[in-house]
Amino acid sequence: MGKTINIQGTLLDLSTPRVMGIVNITPDSFFSGSRKQSVTEIVNRCGQIIDEGGTIIDIGAQSTTPSSHFLTAAEEAERLMPALRTIRNEFPHTILSVDTFHADVAKQSVEEYGVNIINDISGGEIDPRMFAVMGELNVPYILMHMRGVPQTMQQFTDYDNFIQDIWYYFSEKKAMLNMLGVNDVIIDPGFGFSKTLEQNYELMAYLKYFHIFDEPILVGISRKSMIYKLIGSSPEESLNGTSVLHTVALLSGASFLRVHDVKEAVECVKIVDKLAGFDK
């Protein structure tokens, strides 16, 4: 594919897909193994992501499960900024992504701690200032598909035409971002957000067609309910299913995997990349 994104003036090559490791500084993430709140836990987790081959650390202070409590921008910043300070001190050259839908949090993260990517699950819907702020910040923006908010998203799974509706959403929002000067947009189809189990698998089956947007694609399916509900297990027992879907996503052209289990995702990338070498 040969796609790149601009990270503070340096082009990040995406010809080999990149793994983004999740750091949840929340007490209520759906996967208990990802919750890191003490300074030591956060530093150890970031070190693990880097040691296991992760390129990007994605840090979030707001859980996005349907049962989660909505943090204000001030509450989120109070939880997030000390963690960013610690990570930047310990890992000054690592690419950092912040998972937030608050424009003020995005702005502070980039301007004070040199955060490299903003990951917004709401596509600018929760905070209407987000797109304008992204136009000022000059960092890549992860544009995800969701309807409603995390607490209500599963009430919004009725679509006129499921795949086409999502394509329209991305085409409209990508055009808005480009008009504001946001040149590096990463498309996240939003697995698990405002989608039934059946729709999640339909989305995966059509993932290869999302290249019509000519933007890198990020897939976040790590240990999600679309896996453990289908196979009758739990988030803790869903690593094997996660690796299967990571492989499918990579074969469909995903440029980023957002994951809890970095080592296993990196292995998926290496194996699929090896196979791709014989198909050129």
Residues annotated as catalytic (active site), given as ranges: 224, 258
Give how far the C-alpha of residue 203 lies from the chain's centroid of Cα atoms, to the nearest Å.
16
Cα–Cα dist 273/174, whole Å: 28
Distance between first and last Cα of the chain: 12
Do β-strands 185-188 and 141-144 pair in parallel, antiparallel, or remain unpaired? parallel
Sign of CA pseudo-dihedral 47, 6, 210, 62 = positive
In sequence order, what are the beta bridge partners of 187? 143, 217
Q: In this structure, are residues 259 and 270 in contact, taking their beta carbons and an 8 Å threshold?
A: no
Copy the structure tokens of residue 69: 């409590």
